[in-house]
Structures are given as C-alpha cells and as structure tokens.
Amino acid sequence: MRFARLGQFLVRRRWVVIVLAAVFFLAAGVYGGDVAKRLSNGGFSDPSAEASRANAYLEGTLGSGTPNVVILVRAAADGTTVDSPEVAAVGAAITEELRAMEGVGQAVSYWSLGNAPPLRATDSGSALVLARAEGSEDVAREHVAAIAKRFDRADTVTVTQVGGMTEAFREVGETIEKDLALAEMIALPITLLILLFVFRSVVAASLPLMVGAFSIIGTFTVLKVLAEITTVSIFALNLTTALGLGLAIDYSLLFVSRYREERAKGHDANDAVVRTVATAGRSVVFSGLTVAVALGALLLFPVSFLRSFAYAGIGVVAMALIGAVVVLPAVIAALGDRVDKLPIGRKRLAATANRPVEKSFWYRVAHAVMRRPVPVAVATIVVLLFLGLPFLRLQTGTSDDRVLPAGATARQVGDELRDGYSSKDIGALAVVFPSQAPADTGIDAYATTLSKVNGVSRVDAPTGIYLNGVRLPVGPELTGRYATPNGPWLSVVPNVDPMSAAGEQLVADVRAVPAPDGIDRLIGGQGAELVDLKAGILRQLPWAALVIVLATFVLLFLSFGSVLVPIKALVLNTLSLTATFGAMVWIFQEGNLSGPLGFTPTGALDLTMPILMFCIAFGLSMDYEVFLLSRVKEEHDRTGDNTEAVAIGLARTGRIITAAAATIAVVFLAFATSSISFIKLFGIGLTLAVLMDATLIRATLVPAFMKLAGEANWWAPRWMTRIYDRAGMNEAAAEAALINLTVDGYRPADSSRIEGSVSGHARPVNTKVDRRSSPQEAGRR
C-alpha cells in the first residue's frame, strides 16, 4: 500500500519530481565532478595495528624510516661492473642528487656505504641506491613521481630505473586509470547494443543510462563529502561506475517490463505506473537493501581501502534506488506510451508484450526442471562443488610489483631484486622502542639474537651491523642513522621475500624474541604490515559474515514471510560463490591460463579481493533472488499453486535477470582487459559469479528446491508470521489494495476485478487474506 501511494504521488507530481531531480543532478555534477582529486591512493594498512604504529613512530618521532624507493643502477658497458671507477662515480653522484631532492628524507647507496656487499648484485652488474620518500602515502607518491621522472634514464656509463613499493603502486594507479578508460570504451557500445536489443526501443533503452548517470554523479557527491571526513580510496570510483550502471540497468529493466505488462493487461498509463511502483518498486527497494547490506559489511574491516567500497556501494545503491523508484516512474508517467518510441523491431516488441507466458523459454525450463528436481539438483550441486574444490587450497597475501605487466619499470626492478640480490634491504623490518630507549648493552644483545633468527640476512643497529650473531667492526658512518636524537631503532634485513609465507614466518619469529630488559617495542615494515593486515581482516571476517547472513535473512523474511526461502537463498548463493572462488584460485593463484590472460601468478591471491568480490557478488545475486522470488510469491499469493507460481515467476523474470546479468557482465568483463592482475581477477571473477548465478542457479537449483519444498517454501512459525503481518510487505495485500487505488483517489468502475491468471482473464479478489489459512485457501479467496 505504501508503494502504491508513492506511485500515486509520483504520477500526480511527475514534473516537480523531474525538475528537482534535474536540479540535483546538475548541482551534484558541479560539486562532485572533481571528486578524484580528493580521494586517496593508499589505505591498504590497519592504522591501529602494531606495524602501522611502529612506522608512524619511526617517521614522526624518530624522523627516519625503512626505504620505500630503490634506484637500480646497472653498468651499461660490457666488461664493467659497479666497482668500475666511472660507474662508481655516477653511482655516488646519483646518491647525492637524490639526497638533495625535496621530499627525500634519507638516501644511501652501495657506494656511500663503502661498497656494502648486500647492496650489490651477485654478478656485480648492478647496485642499489635506497631512499625514503617522506609524507603520507599520497604525498610520498608525488615525490616518487618526481624521482622516477628524473632517474629513469640511460647513458653510455649506466642505466638507472626506479622501483620499490611506492613506485610500484604509483605505476599501478596510472595503469589502472588508462586501462579503465579503455574498458569503458569497450563496454559502453556493447552495453548500448544489449540495451537496444532488450528494450526494443531507443527511448526505453535510454532510461537505464539516465538512472545510471543520476546514481553515479550522486555518489560522486557522497564520496566527496566523505573524503572531507575520512580517507576514501580512489579505487572506490571503479565500483561506483560499474555498480551504478549495473543496478540502473537491473532496476530499469524490471520497471519498464512491468509497466509494459500492466499496459498489456488493459490498465491506462497512469494506473500502470502506480501498479508498477507498487510491485516492481517494492522488489527494487528490497533487492537494493540486500546489496547495501552486503557491501555495508565492509565497514567492519580496519582497512580504509575496503571501507571505501562500502561508502561507494551504499551510496550508489541509495542513489540507484532514488533514481529507479522515484525519478524513473515520474519520467515514465511523463512519457506514457512514448516510452516505446523509436522502436527496434516493432513487430517483435508487440509480440513480446502479448506472448502468453506459457510459451516462454523460461516457463518451459522451469517445468522441465520441476519434473525431475532431484537429479537436476544433484547434478548441479556436484558441478558447483567440483568447481569449488580449488578454493580449499586458497593462499592469501598482498599485492606487490608483480601485479604490473612484465614491461613496467617497477616490475623490472622488482624482478631483478628478487633474482639477483640475496639481501632484501627494501623489505627490512623496523624495530622501535616508543616508551623507553634500551641501553647499548641491551641493544647489542638483542641485535645479536635477532641476527641468528632463521630468515634474517643481517641486523643494522646503532651499536653495529650483525651477521649470524657476530657484530662486524664498522664505523658510525654506516650505523649513525639508527641513533636518532629521540631514540634508537633497528633494521632487520631479511634474506626471504617479505611478502611470502616465509616472510610472514620471519615476522612471527622476530616478534617472538624478547625485547631488551622487558622494554616495550614495536615491529614494522612490509612483512609486518602484511601479517597485521591479514590478522585484522581475518579477525573481523566472521563478524562481517554474520552481519551479512543475519541482515539478509531478516530482509528476505520481511519481504516474503518465509523461513525456508532466506535459508535456501543463502545456501545457494554460498554454493555459487564457492564455485567462483575455486575457479579464481585455479586461474590466478595456481597460474592456469596465465599465458593467455597475460599475468604473473604469485602463489597467492590479494587478501582484499576475495572479500570485496564476495560482498559485491553476494549483493548482486541477492538482487536477482529478490526479483525472482517477488514474482513467484505474487503468483503464489494469487493462485495458491506452488509449481505454477515458480514457473510463472521464472518466466516473468528470467529474461529480465538474464539481460541484466549480461549487461553488467559486459561491464565487469571489460575490467579483464586491464594489464593489472588483480583488476583482471576482479573482472573475470565477478563476471563468472554474475553469469553463474543468473543462469545456472536461477534456472536449475531455485526451481528444483522450490518444487521439493512445496508449500513449506512459505511456512513460518506463528510468532514470526505475526511479525511479518505487522512489519513485512505482504504481496497479496498490496496487490489487493490496488483495487481501490487510482491516481485520482477514487474507485474505478471495474475495481471489483483484477487480472489474476496468466492468460489475462480477470479473477475476483477478496482484499482480506487470512495468514492462518492454507496457501490454497488464500489463493482461492
């Protein structure tokens, strides 16, 4: 009834709504158009974790830090090495030039440290200059951009390249920006063709683009406001555009299809809009809420990168709901039958609108499945479980330079550091003492013990350099930077990849070594950040899953008044997503198809990607679930026939869901053209998840399970039924209420009858439906 009254209002005040929406759109475009300048490229660490606090103390209080920039200097001429006089002279000059640059806090090199062996390649063909770009992640990237511009160069003596994690992710950001521009150029024309094919009208096909633009620009405004309050990742813009367009297409398809259906039943244009808002509008709101809940769970994670996707997701869902449930009906009311102007295949459009539902492909599929529900369900589940088996071998980590294509500068530097250097100075752990500085004797004993830990190459301390428990006789020119005016710190240099499982074990072993004299100490660095990030995310993961499950169950119960339907939806979505993630492990973690897809497998998936993909895919799959089940319940409340209701529901929504999935799959699949491996993973994974859910799950498992459950599909305990009657959205009552509702508020002459059967014959309806009655009795009433 509430949605029907909303429909009345929108029809009466259509032009007011349209004008207000246009004003908001223009204002949002002016204000939010430059949102990208306010967003952050960082946000990949937990600010409350030990590693983050150690890094903050090291930079803020001690004025130092572990290197985040590396310049690889190669000898250019055959027969020369980094110890050749001409190469050494260039190396020393580069060190001084770098040290003098703005934003560079410190710079040391193989040559400035007295030809330190750890900074020389095993073949002596290259050596390192290490530096620290100061400031926040975004400021440091700006400094590194200037460094790369100056030092990515070659002459007759040396070839220099800039690398390190800061430079790698600067290149990642630039590459993604270019790749996504290309992806949009690919996806947009294909999406337009699909929309024209599905809507069969140029005017109707433009409506999703209108709603999408409204959603995206509105969300830009939301993100800009939030960026003034907290850190928002620039990567959230990618979700905003993809999800904004995808939801706009989903909701517009449902609205336009239902409007055409109501017109085909004989209702005038205004009443058809009211009925569309009362039925399709309700479905859209509940489906939008399930998407928002799934993405809102990302707020529980301690990483602003993930929380940014929650901000974008909730914002774009809210804007899409306003655009679809408020603005779109007003536009359709203003257009009337002109919504089908400029038709593409006029005869096909008319035939589709008037074709009996019993002749549709999805109606036949539903009945075919329900004739043999057990074998169909078993076969589908076996396929899904088989696809999901690789998920049991999931290994997680964080991204490094290997997400870049092989030709990228930072990737080339990273490959040489991994293959040609036994010591991993760029991945050193930092040990700080925030509460009290230990005595030199305590530091000496502590550094000696740390240097004997498996996986440690050496320990640099104010008291000296330590190798395998032995302190080397070195001067203060090599160790002076570890004794700052505000206290000492230690650098623990690994001989294992800091971003690997061995690197994680090293962090655990180093943290297990007691601090000197029981003094508080913090350990930071790349490897420690990875360990703390995984711990923080995994700690919150069960709570996020619990929030998603409970909130989704409540929303689906309030929508359908059933206990079994929400449980079934959760189980089937989990099956579908498990199969998707199994495929992602097989492809991206284990490297199958890495050649054709053009990426480098690292033996692990970026920890944030499966979580992000799960929330997006779960929300979209629930989106389709609500579309389907809303129509099934509407038919069941009207007829009381479970089998026929499932078949009609699938027939009425199968084409809509398939078309919606196809269009959003095109958007996601365009992401797979990116040369950044985790963007490929994101695009291919979500494409598989959407298509699998919209076809395999909806066409087989949903009708099979609903056939097997029979009338139990709609059962709930009496106490829950009372809650549903008070707080839920009773489809039968809403439909019956439409009998007495018109745009002008009077009861029409034919209001004693509404269309109740699939063949279009009118059926008398009693507006009172007793929830205690059997479904069959309710249907007969």
- Statement: residue 489 has pLDDT above 90: yes
The residue among 377, 507, 516 whose CA lies nearest residue 453 is: 507
Q: How far is CA 699 from the centre of its chain?
A: 26
Mean pLDDT of all residues in 668-676: 90
d(CA 69, CA 104) in angstroms, rounded, equals 10
Predicted local confidence at residue 127, as pLDDT: 95
Predicted local confidence at residue 657, as pLDDT: 86
Residue 470: other Cβ atoms inside 10 A: 11
Which string of DSSP letters, residue by residue, matches 552-602? Answer: HHHHHHHHH--SHHHHHHHHHHHHHHHHHHHHHIIIIIT-TTHHHHT----
Residue range 375-416, pLDDT digits in tens: 999 999 999 999 999 999 999 888 889 999 999 999 999 999
- Statement: residue 118 has pLDDT above 70: yes
Q: What is the CA radius of gyration of the chain?
A: 31
Task: Say which amino acid occupies 234.
Answer: I
- Statement: residue 252 has pLDDT above 70: yes
Q: Where are the beta strands (DSSP E) in 337-426?
A: 396-397
Question: Residue 634 in 3-state DSSP?
Answer: helix
Residue 766: other Cβ atoms inside 10 A: 11
d(CA 15, CA 12) in angstroms, rounded, equals 8
Predicted local confidence at residue 529, as pLDDT: 92
Mean pLDDT of all residues in 567-574: 91
| Helix 361-371 / helix 642-671 crossing angle, nearest 10 deg | 120
Kindly indicate the confidence band of residue 746, based on its pLDDT and cuts at 50, 70 and 90: very low
The residue among 581, 84, 542, 612 whose CA lies nearest residue 298 is: 612
Question: What is the token pair recorded at 316?
Answer: 């774009």
| Biggest distance spanned by C-alpha atoms of the chain | 103
Of the ranges 1-5, 126-130, 246-250, 755-759, the best mean pLDDT one: 126-130
Kindly indicate the confidence band of residue 773, based on its pLDDT and cuts at 50, 70 and 90: very low
| Higher-scoring residue by pLDDT: 234, 25 | 25
Kindly indicate the confidence band of residue 751, based on its pLDDT and cuts at 50, 70 and 90: very low
Q: Range with the lowest mean pLDDT among 25-39, 211-225, 326-340, 356-370?
A: 356-370
d(CA 730, CA 759) in angstroms, rounded, equals 24
**Per-residue DSSP letter, 117:** G
The residue among 200, 295, 216, 146 whose CA lies nearest residue 623 is: 295
- Statement: residue 660 has pLDDT above 50: yes
Kindly indicate the confidence band of residue 653, based on its pLDDT and cuts at 50, 70 and 90: confident
Kindly indicate the confidence band of residue 114, based on its pLDDT and cuts at 50, 70 and 90: confident
- Statement: residue 755 has pLDDT above 50: no
The residue among 327, 338, 320, 192 whose CA lies nearest residue 260 is: 338
Residues 713-722 as b/e (b if ≥16 CB within 10 A, e otherwise) read: bbbbeeeebe
Task: Say which amino acid occupies 597.
Answer: L
Residue range 699-715, pLDDT digits in tens: 899 999 999 999 999 89
Total count of residues recorded for the chain:
781
- Statement: residue 179 has pLDDT above 90: no
Mean pLDDT of all residues in 686-694: 90
Mean pLDDT of all residues in 440-446: 92
Question: What is the token pair recorded at 529?
Answer: 């950040």
Predicted local confidence at residue 460, as pLDDT: 92
Residue range 195-223, pLDDT digits in tens: 888 888 899 999 999 999 999 999 999 99
What domains are defined for the chain? 2-42+170-398+531-724 (1.20.1640.10), 69-163 (3.30.70.1320), 435-520 (no CATH), 725-780 (no CATH)
d(CA 109, CA 90) in angstroms, rounded, equals 11
What rounded mean pLDDT belongs to the chain?
87
Q: Where are the beta strands (DSSP E) in 327-485?
A: 396-397, 429-432, 456-461, 464-467, 470-472, 483-484
Kindly indicate the confidence band of residue 736, based on its pLDDT and cuts at 50, 70 and 90: very low
The residue among 707, 712, 705, 706 whose CA lies nearest residue 380 is: 705
Site of tokens 């999935």:
661
| Higher-scoring residue by pLDDT: 76, 742 | 76
Kindly indicate the confidence band of residue 522, based on its pLDDT and cuts at 50, 70 and 90: very high
d(CA 403, CA 126) in angstroms, rounded, equals 24
Question: What is the token pair recorded at 239?
Answer: 């979700």
CA angle (333 as vertex; 329, 337 as ends), nearest 5: 120
Predicted local confidence at residue 352, as pLDDT: 54
Q: Where are the beta strands (DSSP E) in 655-703?
A: none
The residue among 606, 621, 44 whose CA lies nearest residue 306 is: 44
Predicted local confidence at residue 138, as pLDDT: 84
Mean pLDDT of all residues in 90-118: 90
**704: Cβ contacts below 8 Å, ≥ 6 apart:** 369, 370, 373, 374, 376, 377, 380
Residue 72: its H or E element: strand 69-75
The residue among 631, 655, 654 whose CA lies nearest residue 644 is: 631
Kindly indicate the confidence band of residue 753, based on its pLDDT and cuts at 50, 70 and 90: very low
Kindly indicate the confidence band of residue 762, based on its pLDDT and cuts at 50, 70 and 90: very low
d(CA 334, CA 305) in angstroms, rounded, equals 42
β-strands 470-472, 753-755: how paired? unpaired
Task: Say which amino acid occupies 216.
Answer: I
d(CA 600, CA 341) in angstroms, rounded, equals 50
- Statement: residue 491 has pLDDT above 80: yes
- Statement: residue 333 has pLDDT above 70: yes
Kindly indicate the confidence band of residue 732, based on its pLDDT and cuts at 50, 70 and 90: very low
Kindly indicate the confidence band of residue 1, based on its pLDDT and cuts at 50, 70 and 90: low
Predicted local confidence at residue 183, as pLDDT: 86
Residue 213: other Cβ atoms inside 10 A: 16
Mean pLDDT of all residues in 521-548: 93
Residue range 14-70, pLDDT digits in tens: 999 999 999 999 999 999 988 988 888 878 888 899 999 999 999 889 988 888 899
